[in-house]
């Protein structure tokens, strides 16, 4: 029997890039937010004398050998568990490749979750997160879901209070952005502007403080839990989500990658404008919009389904594919994880 796992996507609610660390990675501070949009990863596994992994996919751009994050995850997990097994993995790809939505990382986390269910064996929580961080910087967040603070190179994750679901439009340009190249471009920009490790402002600390202030603001820091959820109106939850997003905007949080990706891909800057819309009487104005990760996907968050639909139509009229979805809080992330 096989296990089908929804491999959800993410956006970055702000991302600050710090100096290069001794290990060659950049320090980062970001807030991840999971979305309902997903791939489906199917895992079939049985214990065997020796380990064998077979990986298939419906997208020819996805590697099907040990370069794939799912393959790496399963191979490492079996080694840590001390269990040889025959494992078949199929990735039904629905999310963009090189889109900045964490699709490959989410696939790896989904493969681990499916493998553990198939073998009825699991690593301890801390070891799972450590393994996930070895496979990729974005992988650990998908073992938490919801709103997640990412520090280090993004792999050190802390669950944050979740905001209620809000409507989201994802713009999916045809162009793909290379994350390694985006980091190289950032290094060039930082050098040209004199943002050395000793001289640049501590933006990572600044952003961490901004996030702390955001979630500590009166009326926006609480999580609706247990019986309390039954007496809270839908309008109150909508207000809570909007207050969190407006607080985010007031902190001045942004994605540093926009400074190097938009000059290299001017069309992405224009797509962001289409997502934002115009304040005032025009419908579809975004509460917040940004590049996700290093791109090329961009997103906007909206007060209502009608606003999201208006933004989706605006982006599509400009010739760019646009998908409407909702943010996915932690409780729903795990409730809806396993597909039928």
Indicate which residues carry an active-site annotation.
Answer: 10, 138
∠ CA 90-10-244, rounded to 5°: 155
Nearest to 39 by CA among 3, 2, 92, 84: 92
- Give φ, ψ of 50 to 5 degrees: -135, 155
**Is the Cβ–Cβ distance between 284 and 277 less than 8 Å?**
yes
- Give φ, ψ of 258 to 5 degrees: -60, -30
**Is the Cβ–Cβ distance between 91 and 55 less than 8 Å?**
yes
Q: DSSP alpha helices (H): ranges in the chain?
A: 69-81, 103-119, 125-135, 179-192, 203-216, 234-250, 258-264, 266-276, 305-317, 330-335
Nearest to 102 by CA among 135, 72, 78: 135
State how far the Cα of 209 lies from the Cα of 214, in Å rounded to an integer: 9
State how far the Cα of 150 lies from the Cα of 156, in Å rounded to an integer: 6
């Amino acid at each position: 029997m096989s296990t089908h796992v929804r491999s959800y996507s993410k956006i970055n609610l702000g991302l600050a890039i710090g100096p290069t660390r001794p290990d060659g990675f950049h320090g980062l501070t970001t807030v991840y937010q999971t979305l309902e949009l997903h791939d489906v990863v199917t895992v079939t596994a049985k214990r065997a004398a020796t380990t064998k992994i077979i990986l298939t996919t419906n997208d020819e751009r996805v590697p099907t050998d040990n370069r794939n994050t799912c393959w790496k995850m399963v191979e490492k997990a079996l080694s840590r568990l001390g269990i040889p097994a025959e494992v078949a993995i199929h990735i039904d790809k629905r999310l963009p490749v090189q889109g900045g939505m964490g699709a490959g990382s989410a696939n790896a986390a989904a493969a681990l979750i499916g493998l553990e269910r198939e073998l009825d064996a699991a690593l301890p929580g801390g070891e799972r997160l450590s393994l996930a961080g070895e496979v990729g910087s974005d992988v650990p967040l998908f073992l938490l879901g919801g709103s997640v603070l990412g520090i280090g190179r993004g792999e050190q994750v802390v669950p944050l209070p979740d905001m209620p679901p809000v409507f989201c439009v994802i713009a999916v340009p045809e162009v793909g952005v290379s994350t390694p190249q985006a980091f190289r471009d950032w290094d060039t920009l930082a050098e040209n502007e004199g943002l050395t490790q000793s001289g640049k402002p501590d933006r990572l600390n600044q952003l961490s403080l901004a996030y702390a202030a955001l979630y500590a603001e009166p009326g926006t820091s609480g999580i609706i839990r247990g019986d309390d959820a039954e007496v809270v109106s839908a309008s109150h939850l909508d207000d809570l989500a909007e207050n969190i997003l407006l607080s985010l905007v007031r902190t001045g949080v942004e994605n540093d990658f926009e400074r190097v990706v938009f000059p290299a891909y001017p069309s992405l800057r224009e797509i962001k404008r289409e997502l934002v819309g115009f304040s005032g009487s025009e419908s579809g104005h975004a509460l917040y919009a940004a590049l996700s990760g290093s791109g090329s996907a961009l997103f906007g968050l909206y007060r209502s389904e009608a606003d999201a639909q208006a933004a989706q139509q605006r982006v599509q009229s400009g010739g760019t594919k646009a998908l409407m979805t909702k943010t996915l809080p932690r409780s729903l992330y795990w409730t809806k994880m396993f597909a039928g």
